[in-house]
Chain A
Amino acid sequence: MATLTPEQRAQYWRRNRNLMIKLMIIWFLVSFVFGILLVDQLNMLRIGGYKLGFWFAQQGSIFVFIGLIFYYVKAMRRLDKEFGLDTE
């Protein structure tokens, strides 16, 4: 594994942290905001028999969670490669 300078380490951590913050905002939006706080407003829209807010609370948020984790996996793999940290 490549050894990193302290600046590189700090930069790697900062980029990881910024990525996490972005993804956690989406995580918060689809569950707490769409599923709970704004549920009444979203419920005025429908997809099929689902009221939209209800759908986010019982289905949609879960699908987004899966997407978030796999996006994070991919983005971190890219980041590791950029810093020469992938140990394949």
Chain B
Amino acid sequence: MDLTQITYLVVGCSFALYIVIAIWARAESTKEFYVAGGGVNPIANGMATAADWMSAASFISMAGLIGMSYNGYGGSVFLMGWTGGYVILAMLVAPYLRKYGKFTVPEFIGDRYYSDAARVVAVLCLVLCSVTYVIGQMKGIGVAFSRFLETDYETGLYTGMVIVFFYAVLGGMKGITYTQIAQYVVLITAYTVPAIFISFQLTGHPIPQLGLGATLQGGEVYLLDKLDQILVDTGFEDYTTTVRYSTLNMVAFTASLMIGTAGLPHVIIRFFTVPKASDARRSAGWALIFIAILYTTAPAVAAMARLNIMQTIEPSPGAHMTIADRPAWFETWERTGLLGIEDKNGDGKLQYLADAERNELVVLDNDILVLANPEIARLPNWVIALVAAGGLAAALSTAAGLLLAISSAVSHDLLKGTFMPSISERGELNASRGAMALAVFGAGYLGLNPPGFAAGTVALAFGLAASSIFPALVMGIFSTRITREGAIAGMLCGLSLTLFYVFQHKGVMFVADWRFLTHWGDRWFFGIEPNAFGCVGAALNFVVAIVVSKVTREPPAPIRRLVEEIRLP
């Protein structure tokens, strides 16, 4: 069997598995649809949360971002940010919301801030941040299909839409939970197997976390020292110490990802499925363990794959690879446009240098570090097929979780909670399925238009969650004094400021021509890049909410009792 056939077989089997699980675990009631019946084992929920959480970006792009764009140490913001958020989630958010015991995040905000308006604003924030995030997943599905199955991007995207639509609409939270568990197993296997092989080849250590700190095979030189030296020799910056823009930018970036994580509605609602508040804490701990398996492997993949690429091109100092004899994978990935070479000095050899004038590896996409990793390390075909299935599992599981968050906000908060309180349970269930279908098509459409939008979405989703939802939740739990006016004003200010900052620098919907106020130039607020801006939006949210609460009438007495109640397990 050739590679394409094996890939079709492995991906096909994984899809069949997800669909079988979805049919077996389909939801019959709104409680099953929204919170899987509320009786999920905390460890199982931890695993489902890990799959829900780890998106196509974590699986396909993160190692490449760390290894290349963020040049090693700078990429630490993703590693600390996307894991440290779970500490906040486990202590400040999840147990209290579980204790509250309702179905959605806006429902809590509406009740705590005694206002339907607050609930509708929360729905707006949720939908904005979840829709932008789901577009990123649709793009991931399109990319994985087009790279591995040689279809075009659109076909990949449509296929992904059909699969997600089928099992998310049918199964609701219950179906999604059990499919996510299967998807976790697929994606973590697909991520760790190539990493183990590569670590073993390079350092003799099968555990990548140890391999990264070890010496290279057959020598006394540490892997990271070697990488530092090769990069410096070719004109790049040092791998282990180069800061991303500035220390302040790194702090802001990490903080934004952390609080964004703790404010993402599709992650929070996963903790509504366990039996009680103490289970929510335990479940967050397990989720982080399952996530950490990938997140501590990723920096090893980043450094090792980067080293492999550098050494393939320049096996020993001054001896460059002859272009005519380049390995087969090189040509494969050139066809997909992720690699591009141009023999500028006409010597028939390939020079990869930091200097753009003389660099001959003119295209080197970040994603190649994970996608081409098995080929670069000459691993068998089944490993490559597994990576394809893993990338799809990561994208599908996150997309399904997001779609559920969107549909439950629309059917439960907007219809049942605000505009059509008399709707029957059956009617609400149908409405949530309808809302999910709409969300799938909306996300599919935005995955194609405007072009370029999909690429920037994940970072934007974190910024929005950090600046709008997280502060409202934390203040709602930790203060009895924040009023509805304060919360609404805070959410709207945080949301608008973040949207404004990101779109001002990157263009509305990330279309460069749709930038506005361009005469302001590219001046960054204290040198903080747009992707790291969520924490500034959050700070504004806190300040506005506290100030407005000081000048508005105190929340009524039942609200104080509600807050006291959720603080007890």
Contact = CB atoms under 8 A, between A and B. Distances in A.
B337 interface: no
B288 A66 contact: yes
A36 B278 contact: no
B289 A59 contact: no
Contacts of B284: 69
Interface string B75-114: 1100110011011001110000000000000000000000
Given A43-B241, A70-B285, A57 B76 contact: yes
Given A16-B567, A20-B92, A62 B80 contact: yes
A51 B240 contact: yes
Contacts of A9: 564, 567-568
B154 interface: no
Contacts of B80: 31, 35, 57, 61-62
A52 B76 CA distance: 13
B91 A65 contact: no
Contacts, number: 128
Interface in A1-59: 4, 9, 12-13, 16, 20, 23-24, 27, 31-32, 35-37, 39-40, 43, 47-51, 54-55, 57-59
Contact of B247 (A36, A76, A85): A36
A49 to B, nearest CB: 3
Interface string B204-240: 0000010011110000001111000000000000001
Which of B209, B254, B564, B569 has most chain A Cβ within 10 Å?
A: B569
A66 B222 contact: no
Contact of A85 (B240, B299, B569): B569
A26 to B, nearest CB: 9
Contact of B568 (A4, A40, A58): A4
A68 B90 CA distance: 10
Nearest to B247: A36
A81 B255 CA distance: 34
B155 interface: no
Contact of B214 (A32, A40, A48, A80): A48
B249 to A, nearest CB: 10
B278 A49 contact: no
Interface in B413-440: none
Interface residues of B, number: 44
A68 to B, nearest CB: 5
B213 A68 contact: no
Interface residues of A, number: 43
A11 to B, nearest CB: 12
B87 A49 contact: no
Nearest to A32: B251
Contacts of B569: 76, 80, 85-87
B427 to A, nearest CB: 34
A66 B282 CA distance: 11
A74 to B, nearest CB: 10
A43 B240 contact: yes
Nearest to A80: B569
Contacts of B79: 57-58, 61-62
Contacts of A32: 251, 254-255
Contact of B278 (A37, A40, A65, A73): A73
Contacts of A69: 86-87, 90-91, 281, 284-285, 288
Interface string B528-569: 000000000000000000000000000000000000100111
Given A9-B564, A57-B76, A51 B241 contact: yes
B285 A49 contact: no
Contact of A65 (B86, B225, B281, B568): B86
Contacts of B266: none
Contacts of B247: 36-37
Nearest to B565: A9
Contact of A62 (B83, B90, B212, B276): B83
B292 interface: yes
Contacts of B276: 87
Nearest to B249: A36
A1 B355 CA distance: 69
A77 B278 contact: yes
Contacts of A4: 568
23 contacts: A9-B567, A9-B568, A16-B567, A32-B251, A37-B247, A39-B73, A48-B213, A49-B222, A50-B212, A51-B224, A54-B240, A58-B296, A59-B296, A65-B86, A65-B87, A66-B285, A69-B87, A69-B285, A72-B281, A73-B281, A86-B278, A86-B569, A87-B569
Q: A-B pairs with the 5 shortest C-beta distances?
A: A49-B222, A57-B76, A69-B285, A48-B213, A50-B213
Interface of A: 4, 9, 12-13, 16, 20, 23-24, 27, 31-32, 35-37, 39-40, 43, 47-51, 54-55, 57-59, 61-63, 65-66, 68-70, 72-73, 76-77, 80, 85-87
